[in-house]
Amino acid sequence: MCLKWVADVEYLVACYSSGLIFIMKLEISSNNVKSSSLKEFNSSKMDFKADLIFYKSIQIHKKSINALIYSKNYKLSITAGEERTIILWDIYTRKVNKVLSGHTSSVISLTMNDQMNQLISLSNDKNVRVWDIRNMICIQTLQDTYIYRPENRLGCIHYDEKSKSILLTSRKINVWPLSVQEGTTNYNDFPVTKVLFNPKFFNVISVDEGSNVIIFDLITGKMEFRFYEAHGTQRITSATLDISGRRLLTSSVDGVIKMWNFSNGAMLSEYVDKDCKKEITDIICIGYDDFTSEIASVGWDRMIFIYTHSKDHDRVSTRKIGGINNKEFTDDITKIYYIQKYDYIITGSSDGKIIVWHFRLG
C-alpha cells in the first residue's frame, strides 16, 4: 500500500495491491466550524479533529501499485508497480495522460528532478531509468551491478537537488551523481540517405552519402558499431533489412546491392546485374521465411530488378520488369513498396506516376 498527501490540492491518495486508487479529503472541524482546508486552522491555538472523507476512486492498474509521487510542475500523479509500466494521470479528472514502458521488472520506487523536468524510476532488477517528462521518453538507463548481501536488492530511490545526485537505499545509502546530457550528438559527417529501425535488436541504423553505416542504441542514443566505405567511394542511396532482421541490404549509385551482417560489418553477398548500371534509388526485401527471400530494386534505369536468393548465397537469379523502352515507365523510378496480402508492388516515379504491379506476373 502507498500513501501520499498531495499538498497542492489537499488530497490524501491511497494505492492498494489490487491496483485500486482511493482519493480522500480531510474534513477538519473545531468549535463547530468545518473546513476541507488545513490553511484555515492554526493547530497551536485551537483543538481540532480531522476525518477522512472518501472523494473519488480510480482503477488504472491491474496489479499491485508500489510507488506514488506527484509532480507539482505538471500537476500530474504518477504511479507504478508490478505491471512494469509507469502511469501519469490527472488527479482532478482521473484520466490517464501517458503510460511509460521500458522496465523489464516491477517498478518499486519513483522520484522527481523538477529542475530538469525529469522523472526517475527504479525497478526490482536494480535498473534506474531517467525520463524526460516533457516529451515522455527515456533519456538515460543506469544499472546497479553491485552484489548486495544478504539480499541483492535496492529499496527506494530519491533525487537530491542540492548535490544533484540520485540516492539509492540498500544496507547503506548509495550516491550517484546524475549527469544527463541534453541535445544530440552528430556521428554523421555526410548527408544521411536512409534511417532504419530494427525491432529485433531495438537499434537504429543510418547510412549516408559517405558510404558509412552506423548502428545506434535506441534507448541511450549511443553508437554501437560503425563501418566505413561500405561501397568504397560510391554513395549509398538506400537501405533495408531482410525478414529476419539480422542482415542489412544497401544500394549505391553504381547499381550495386550488398548484404551485410551489420553487427560486425562483414559483407555476406553482392548483387550485380549487367543491365543495372545507373543509380539505385530504393530497395525492399520481400521475404517468405528466414531461408528464402527476394530483393527488389528501382532506380534511374526505369526498371524493377528482382534478385531471388536462398540461404546459399551463391545461387542468385534475376528477373526484370520495365526498361527505358517500356511505355509504363516514362521517368526515373524513385520509390517501391510491397503489399504482402495481395502480392502487389507499387512504384512511384519522378514524373508523379504511381503504378501497381502484380509481383509474380509483372
Segment 277-302, tens digit of pLDDT: 788 999 998 875 555 678 899 988 88
- Residue 44 amino acid letter: S
The mean predicted confidence, pLDDT, of the chain is 83
How confident is the model at residue 131, as a pLDDT? 92
The answer to whether the beta carbons of residues 336 and 346 sit under 8 Å apart is yes
C-alpha 192/C-alpha 206 separation (Å) is 7
What domains are there in the chain, each with its CATH number?
2-177 (2.130.10.10), 192-358 (2.130.10.10)
DSSP letters spanning 273-318: -TT--S-EEEEEEEESSSS-EEEEEEETTSEEEEEEE-SSTT-EEE
Q: In residues, how long is the chain? A: 362
Q: Taking a C-beta distance cutoff of 8 angstroms, is the pair 255, 276 a contact?
A: yes
Q: b/e string for 349-359 if b means 16 or more Cβ within 10 A?
A: beeeeeeebeb
**149-179 pLDDT per residue, tens:** 888 888 899 998 888 889 988 877 888 887 6
> Residue 187 belongs to what H/E stretch?
none
Which residues are 113's β-sheet partners? Answer: 118
The residue written with cell numbers 497551536 in the block is 44
d(CA 164, CA 178): 6
Rounded-to-integer distance, Cα 150 and Cα 127, Å: 19
* Residue given cell 505538471 in the structure block: 74
The pLDDT tens digits of the residues spanning 40-78 come to 445 444 555 667 787 788 899 999 999 999 998 888 999
Q: What is the pLDDT of residue 238?
A: 94
pLDDT value at position 50? 61
pLDDT tens readout for residues 74-102: 889 999 999 999 999 998 888 999 999 98
Q: Taking a C-beta distance cutoff of 8 angstroms, is the pair 91, 11 a contact?
A: yes
